Structure 1
Amino acid sequence: MLTLACHCGLIRVRIDRRPDYIHECNCTLCSKTGARWGYFQPADVAVEGAARGYTRADKDDPGAEIGFCGRCGSTTHFTLTAGAVAKFGNGVMGVNMRLADERDLAGIELRFPDGRGWAGEGPFGYVRPASIIGEDAGLA
């Protein structure tokens, strides 16, 4: 089990397992929130504390609501919007893995999807090859 927390500790996120991989997306939302997303089933994630939500206004169907701490501003997680749930089902929730200690993520593949170039349908392209977290630091 991993317990992650925002900078001030007001919001805690508990997950029962490590993610299979982590995305560091280059879309404007992900890059400006500083998130690296691990993906989980919503039932496998427990968020404690009152997160504030932000849904981007620059898209007709934004897809996700970003949760963040109203006190320190740390991005903590995302949930799918009603439109995305209707389109894809409620099978995914994102957790900002930057909140974890990197040693707890050693050996996990870090992928770099091209969110800026993604049209919203089909698979992502990638802007550079994947890497393994901790490999350069001798943690893997």
Structure 2
Amino acid sequence: MLRLSCHCGQVRLELATRPDYIHACNCSLCAKSGARWSYLHPCDVTVAGPTNRYSRSDKADPAAEIRFCARCGSTTHFVLTAAAAAKFGNGVAGVNMRLADEDDLAGLELRYPDGRAWSGEGAFGYVREARILGAGAGLD
């Protein structure tokens, strides 16, 4: 189990399983929120503490609703919007892995999807090769 928290500690997340990889997406939402996402089934993510929400306004039908701490503003996780869950099923939640202890991330693959160029259909292209995180190596 992994335990994560926002900067002030008001929002805490527990992951029942370790993710297979982390995405460092370059789309405007991910870049401006400072998030590096792992994707898990919603039943494997427990969130405690008050969050505010944001859905991007530059998309006619945004798929994700970003959540962030109501006190310190740290991006914590995302859930699918109702429209996206109806279309794709509610089988994914995103967790901002920048909130994790760096040592807990050792051995995970960090991938760099080209979200800016992604149409929203099909697989991501990637802007550079993935790398494996090492203990104390951080997410930079």
Q: Normalising to structure 2: TM-score of the pair?
A: 0.95
Query: Structure 2: how far apart are the matches of 1:70 and 1:127?
Result: 33
Matches within 5 A, 1:26-41: 26-41=26-41
C-alpha RMSD of the superposition: 1.1
Q: Can you give the 5+ residue segments of structure 2 that lack an aligned partner in the other structure? A: none
Work out the number of aligned pairs and report it: 137
Give the aligned partner of residue 13 of structure 2. 13
Give the aligned partner of residue 94 of structure 1. 94
Q: Can you give the 5+ residue segments of structure 1 that lack an aligned partner in the other structure? A: none
Alignment partner of 2:14: what SS?
Answer: strand
Q: Does 1:105 align with 2:85?
A: no
Give the aligned partner of residue 77 of structure 2. 77
Query: Structure 1: how far apart are the matches of 2:98 and 2:18?
Result: 13
Runs of 4+ aligned structure 1 residues displaced above 4 Å come to: none
Q: CA deviation at 1:86?
A: 1.4
Give the aligned partner of residue 116 of structure 1. 116
Q: CA deviation at 1:10?
A: 0.5
Alignment partner of 1:90: what SS?
Answer: coil
Give the aligned partner of residue 49 of structure 1. 49
Query: Structure 2: how far apart are the matches of 1:28 and 1:134?
Result: 27
CA 1:5 to 1:135, structure 2 compared with 1: closer, same or farther past 3 Å? closer
Identity level (%):
68
Deviation string, structure 1 residues 4-41 (Cα, Å, up to 9, x no partner): 00000000001112100000100000000000001110
Give the aligned partner of residue 134 of structure 2. 134
Deviation string, structure 1 residues 91-113 (Cα, Å, up to 9, x no partner): 00000000001110100000000
The one-letter amino acid of 1:131's match is R
